[in-house]
Structure 1
Amino acid sequence: MPTVLHLNLRVDPTQYIPQIREVPGYDYIHSVRQPKYMTDMSLLNEKVHYLNEILSPKEHIRKYNISLLHAHHGQLGLLLMPFKKKTNLPLVTSIRGVDATLAEERAGYLPNMRKLFEEGESFFPVCNYLGERIANWGCPPEKMKVLYGGVDLGKYTYQPTYRESSANILSIGRMVEKKGHHILMEAFNKIRDKFPQAKLTLIGSGKCEKYIASLATQLNLGDSFQLLKHLPKDELHEHMRKADLFCAASCEASNGDVEGIPNTLKEAMAFGLPVISTSHAGIPELVTHDKEGILVQEHSVDELAEALEFMLTDRTKWKTFTDAARLKIEQKFDQKEQLRQQAEFYDEILRKK
């Protein structure tokens, strides 16, 4: 069985564990840059290695019979380029949201990425939208293969609940600008008078937490709003069961950072929650407006408020939306199928080696 050396940002449950540890027909070495990025000790095993402790790349690949390198972000692909040159192994790089932007003002990022496009064997953007962005930067189209992030359908059984009286709105995602939590809060504030029973729950952690808390105070949301830190999956599922609507108000951040397709939106659709989102980035590849849910323009508080009011006022379409949404996940975002596709991409690269 061939072994792939994976490099990702952190070892924690949010960091693409299935795409590293569950690819059929492939063993793995799970690498991070330094021990401080080993953030969830429950995932520590003998296959976790630290890049800064690898003194001889050639000896390392011989010892662990490594056939392929896979960087799970653009910046990590850049880090593996010297490793690739010393070992002559093929290098694959996944492209996620920030990787296809000039956000975070990383010095020399664009010319370095163009060098990676020349020397890397393949690139896996997580949606067509990001693929188009890196193509505009010079990535050869023949090197690109879109690989969607999938949902474990065994863990997200379809269990829609259509309540008539409650109005519980849920959003899950890191507390960063591109998630659009602030826009959702302002839209929610616009509809509170019409839906006095409505409640908004945001779940996540990040650098915007203090701003979100202060905005809740400024809008006087009171008991109609709660902000919860990052929660384990079983607790997230419990909040999904209690929710009536899921909203992902994603938008381009002021520094240019963008999404790919939010995983939490896929999970909500798999679970059976009616969804509202925006036409941002790759989201229209997941949600067709008025088919699997409702889409509005990003950054538009008024459009989002109208969508919330529409969904809470007329619930007759909810079953049509959620049935179509579950089908979309099963057909295009099933984790098992995406991992099989990933293995096929690996096979193709190794055949050319």
Structure 2
Amino acid sequence: MTRSTLAHGFGGFQRQCIDLCEGFVSQGHEVTVLTTAHPDGIEKEVQAGFTVHYLTPSRPKKLSRPWFKESKRIIEEIHQRTPIDVIHSNEFAGAGIISWAKRNNVPLAVVCHGSLRTELLSFLSSADKRPRYWHWLFLTPMFLLKRCLMWEMPMRRAASSIILVSPTLERDFRLFSRGKVKVIENGIKLPDRREPIIQSGKLRLLCTGRADSQKGFQLAIKAVSEITELDLHLDIVGTGPYLDELHRLVDNLKLHDRVTFHGRVDDDELARIYSSADIYLIPTLRHEGLPLALLEAMAHGLPTISSYIGGNTDVITHDHDGLFITAGRLDELVTSIRRLGSDPAARISISKAARETTERRFDRDRMVRETMETLYSMS
């Protein structure tokens, strides 16, 4: 159960869901996915051996009371045909079936990518003085608190297991979680190893992911504008609500020949873009659990400049397999780009170390295996 899949957008949250489903199927398990409405109105489809139901009493990516009610109805139908052994809920998607699961002795696993604390910190980190922000300064925290009390806390009580994607979240899950928490770090399919190559000429910077203000893509664009002594080009892959604002920023700074927006691309094209990049930027303002985009970049051997925030802090060792900057500090981002841009030896060293880190810790098969072991232990 999940509020979004790759049909809804391009991001780590969606990719992890699909990777787990494909991994479960490859081990011989029967998998059904319940998610929110498809953007194109599709109600049901089979992909990679598992069935996906897009429940229409909802908007894409938005959980709601009608969605919870419909998900319960579908689960009851499935259970009558083939008894369900375990329910894997991506965050709060399973809130509507807590009572049903208890009555039918079906164990519930909840995977969490963040917490109330990280959500609030991420919201506050994007503060500005526009009237609309100050309006939402009160409404958004109230909404997050309401969601925590109505969805998160009941899910914690009901769950047999709570899976966290990063150790940085553990301290936020002490209440109603004793003996339930299991840290299973995100994993990715590792691309073929390639030797780092220092190319002469243009230096290509890369940002990927959902385009919203908290991802910090605007800082990357401003950094390109400030660094005139290096021949830089910034590629931005992804779509989202902030994309128009980023286009306007590029227009205002007259950077059309130095910034390219690729939109959403398929896996083959994304791999090509990773392979052509020299430095990966993740100047996020958001306290994320563990961004898959960061792992993908490191797996491709890209030296990464990352905000020291959220689960990123548990992945990178500064000056070894990446560089850290303070979240929101444009001056530090500029300094780090200049450093890597003018020091090919440092780029090669960090590139090799980044690949070694992902091979050692963040393989997708390891993530699937540990998740299956947790689900087996519940049944």
Shift of 1:107: 6.7
* Native 8 Å contact 1:172 1:202 kept in 2: yes
* Native 8 Å contact 2:164 2:182 kept in 1: yes
Indicate which of 104, 122, 145 corresponds to 2:182.
Answer: 145
Tell me the equivalent position of 2:355. Answer: 326
Q: Residues 82 and 216 from structure 1, CA distance in 2 versus in 1: closer, same or farther, beyond 3 angstroms?
A: farther
Indicate which of 71, 91, 114 corresponds to 2:89.
Answer: 71
- 1:40-59 map, 5 Å: 43=47, 47-49=51-53, 52=70, 55=73, 57-59=75-77
Q: Report the residue type matching 2:224 in the other structure.
A: F
Shift of 1:305: 0.5
Q: Residues 245 and 130 from structure 1, CA distance in 2 versus in 1: closer, same or farther, beyond 3 angstroms?
A: same
Tell me the equivalent position of 1:115. Answer: 154
Q: Using the alignment, how far apart are the partners of 2:86 and 2:250 within structure 1?
A: 48
* Native 8 Å contact 1:26 1:343 kept in 2: no
Tell me the equivalent position of 2:166. Answer: 127
Q: Using the alignment, how far apart are the partners of 1:111 and 1:280 within structure 2?
A: 25
Matched, 1:194 2:229: yes
Aligned-CA RMSD value: 2.5
- The worse-fitting range, judged by mean Cα deviation, of 238-247 and 51-60 is 51-60
Matched, 1:236 2:270: yes
Q: Classify the secondary structure of the residue corresponding to 1:307.
A: helix
Q: Using the alignment, how far apart are the partners of 1:174 and 1:7 within structure 2?
A: 18
TM-score by length of 2: 0.80
Percent of pairs identical after alignment? 22
* Native 8 Å contact 2:196 2:301 kept in 1: yes
5+ residue gaps, structure 2, are 56-69, 124-139
Shift of 1:41: 5.8
Indicate which of 291, 307, 314 corresponds to 1:278.
Answer: 307
Q: Using the alignment, how far apart are the partners of 1:79 and 1:287 within structure 2?
A: 38
Tell me the equivalent position of 2:291. Answer: 262
Q: Report the residue type matching 1:205 in the other structure.
A: T
Q: Residues 98 and 163 from structure 1, CA distance in 2 versus in 1: closer, same or farther, beyond 3 angstroms?
A: farther
* Native 8 Å contact 2:111 2:165 kept in 1: yes
Shift of 1:42: 7.2
Shift of 1:123: 1.1
Q: Using the alignment, how far apart are the partners of 2:156 and 2:256 within structure 1?
A: 50
Indicate which of 228, 232, 253 corresponds to 1:219.
Answer: 253
Cα deviation code 1:166-202 (max 9, x no counterpart) = 21101111101221101121222221x211x211111
Tell me the equivalent position of 1:250. Answer: 284
Indicate which of 164, 179, 203 corresponds to 1:167.
Answer: 203
Q: Which runs of 4+ in 1 moved over 6 A?
A: none
Indicate which of 310, 313, 317 corresponds to 1:288.
Answer: 317
Tell me the equivalent position of 1:303. Answer: 332
Shift of 1:35: 5.6
Q: Residues 88 and 206 from structure 1, CA distance in 2 versus in 1: closer, same or farther, beyond 3 angstroms?
A: same
Cα deviation code 1:111-132 (max 9, x no counterpart) = 1212221121111111112333
Q: Residues 40 and 238 from structure 1, CA distance in 2 versus in 1: closer, same or farther, beyond 3 angstroms?
A: farther
Indicate which of 28, 31, 56 corresponds to 2:31.
Answer: 28
Q: Residues 141 and 106 from structure 1, CA distance in 2 versus in 1: closer, same or farther, beyond 3 angstroms?
A: same
- The worse-fitting range, judged by mean Cα deviation, of 333-342 and 218-227 is 218-227
- 1:80-99 map, 5 Å: 80-97=97-114
Q: Using the alignment, how far apart are the partners of 1:91 and 1:81 within structure 2?
A: 8
Aligned positions, number: 334
* Native 8 Å contact 1:57 1:86 kept in 2: no
5+ residue gaps, structure 1, are 1-5, 253-257
Shift of 1:284: 1.5
* Native 8 Å contact 1:161 1:272 kept in 2: no
Q: Using the alignment, how far apart are the partners of 1:336 and 1:238 within structure 2?
A: 23
Q: Using the alignment, how far apart are the partners of 1:296 and 1:141 within structure 2?
A: 34
Q: Report the residue type matching 2:319 in the other structure.
A: D
Q: Using the alignment, how far apart are the partners of 1:63 and 1:11 within structure 2?
A: 27
Q: Report the residue type matching 2:32 in the other structure.
A: I
Q: Residues 141 and 238 from structure 1, CA distance in 2 versus in 1: closer, same or farther, beyond 3 angstroms?
A: same
Q: Residues 188 and 82 from structure 1, CA distance in 2 versus in 1: closer, same or farther, beyond 3 angstroms?
A: farther
Q: Using the alignment, how far apart are the partners of 1:131 and 1:235 within structure 2?
A: 36
Q: Using the alignment, how far apart are the partners of 2:74 and 2:30 within structure 1?
A: 21
Q: Residues 145 and 279 from structure 1, CA distance in 2 versus in 1: closer, same or farther, beyond 3 angstroms?
A: same
Shift of 1:325: 1.0
Q: Residues 305 and 39 from structure 1, CA distance in 2 versus in 1: closer, same or farther, beyond 3 angstroms?
A: farther
* Native 8 Å contact 2:71 2:96 kept in 1: no
Q: Using the alignment, how far apart are the partners of 1:54 and 1:114 within structure 2?
A: 19
* Native 8 Å contact 1:7 1:30 kept in 2: yes
TM-score by length of 1: 0.86
